[in-house]
């Protein structure tokens, strides 16, 4: 029988205290990895870390360069090296081009784009001597547009091409670092349901039904399903996979 798919690997996951980040950390631990749960919410990260001996919490504000340097240094001091970086932290406020404020647009770009750039740069510097895998969380919204998510669309489209640039740089420098993006549709996470929680129950039910109807498979994704794809991209099974967008959307972008 083959062993765990991530045996001996050492990973840092941003947004690791909840949602896709935490689901990914749980799958990583099941597959033999040790994981730094990097999050700006220290209490949530510590609570999550207490659930598994393979976890430890590290403070990280993804928009802050010094915070990245400190988080990577902490992970390296704990692990001795870094093999996998998953850039999962993100925000997704609803607003159209007419309704969006410049301040909120800049905030979304800071978290979703600057945070991924800083993460990729830090990850490359930490892994270039021995190789590894970087996985960036994008979205179907980085491939197709939505009328009321202008900042999110812009940010996730940027992540898609940022990923390709990082992948090509690492390949040409022969660092042995692969970099890929993941593009889910609606996922059952606190961030997704939080965008609906203030609406009346009947309205929320109508919205959820309408969103579900956009997915050919007829349901939302479960966080563990996204995590399973990230496990593959972080494992040695995907050694020839880099610079690619990996769509996991229940058929949403396949066509009419």
Task: Reply yes or no on whether the pLDDT at 79 is more than 70.
Answer: yes
Annotated catalytic residues are: 152
Of all helices (H) and strands (E), which one includes residue 52?
none
Predicted local distance difference test score (pLDDT) of residue 192? 72
Per-residue model confidence as pLDDT tens digits over 10-24: 999 999 999 999 999
Predicted local distance difference test score (pLDDT) of residue 9? 98
Residue with token string 């928009």: 63
Predicted local distance difference test score (pLDDT) of residue 57? 98
Per-residue model confidence as pLDDT tens digits over 105-160: 999 999 999 999 999 999 999 999 999 999 999 999 999 999 999 999 999 999 99
Quote the pTM value.
0.94
Predicted local distance difference test score (pLDDT) of residue 216? 94
Which part of the chain has CATH 3.40.50.720?
10-184+223-240
Per-residue model confidence as pLDDT tens digits over 204-255: 888 889 889 999 999 999 999 999 999 999 999 999 999 999 999 999 999 8
CB 82 within 8 A of CB 123: yes
Domain 10-184+223-240, second-level architecture: 3-Layer(aba) Sandwich (3.40)
Task: Reply yes or no on whether the pLDDT at 195 is more than 70.
Answer: no
Residue (of 92, 36, 28, 23) closest to 68 by Cα position: 36
Report the chain's mean pLDDT, rounded to a whole number.
Answer: 95
Query: Region 190-213: what's the mean pLDDT?
Result: 80
How far is the C-alpha of 167 from the C-alpha of 84, rounded, in Å?
A: 14
Confidence of residue 1 (pLDDT cuts 50, 70, 90): low
> Going by C-beta distance under 8 Å and a sequence separation of 6 or more, which residues neighbour residue 15?
21, 38, 39, 88, 89, 90, 137
Task: Reply yes or no on whether the pLDDT at 30 is more than 80.
Answer: yes
């Amino acid at each position: 029988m083959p062993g765990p798919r991530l045996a001996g690997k050492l990973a840092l996951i941003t947004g690791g205290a909840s949602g896709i980040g935490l689901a990914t950390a749980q799958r990583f631990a099941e597959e033999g990895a040790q994981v730094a749960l990097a999050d700006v919410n220290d209490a949530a990260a510590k609570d999550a870390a207490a659930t598994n001996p393979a976890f430890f919490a590290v403070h990280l504000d993804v928009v802050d360069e010094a915070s990245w340097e400190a988080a990577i240094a902490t992970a390296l001091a704990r692990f001795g090296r870094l093999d996998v970086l998953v850039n999962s932290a993100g925000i997704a406020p609803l607003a159209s081009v007419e309704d969006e404020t410049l301040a909120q647009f800049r905030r979304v770009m800071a978290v979703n784009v600057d945070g991924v750039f800083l993460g990729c740069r830090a990850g490359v510097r930490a892994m270039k001597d021995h190789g590894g895998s970087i996985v960036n969380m994008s979205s179907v919204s980085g491939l197709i547009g939505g009328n009321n998510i202008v900042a999110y669309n812009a940010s996730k489209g940027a992540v898609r091409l940022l990923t390709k640039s990082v992948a090509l740089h690492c390949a040409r420098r022969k660092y042995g670092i692969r970099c890929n993006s993941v593009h889910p549709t609606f996922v059952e996470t606190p961030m997704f349901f939080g965008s609906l929680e203030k609406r009346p129950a009947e309205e929320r039910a109508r919205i959820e039904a309408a969103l579900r109807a956009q997915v050919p498979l007829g349901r939302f994704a479960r966080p563990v399903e996204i995590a399973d794809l990230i496990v593959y991209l972080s494992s040695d099974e995907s050694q020839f996979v880099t610079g690619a967008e990996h769509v996991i959307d229940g058929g949403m972008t396949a066509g009419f």
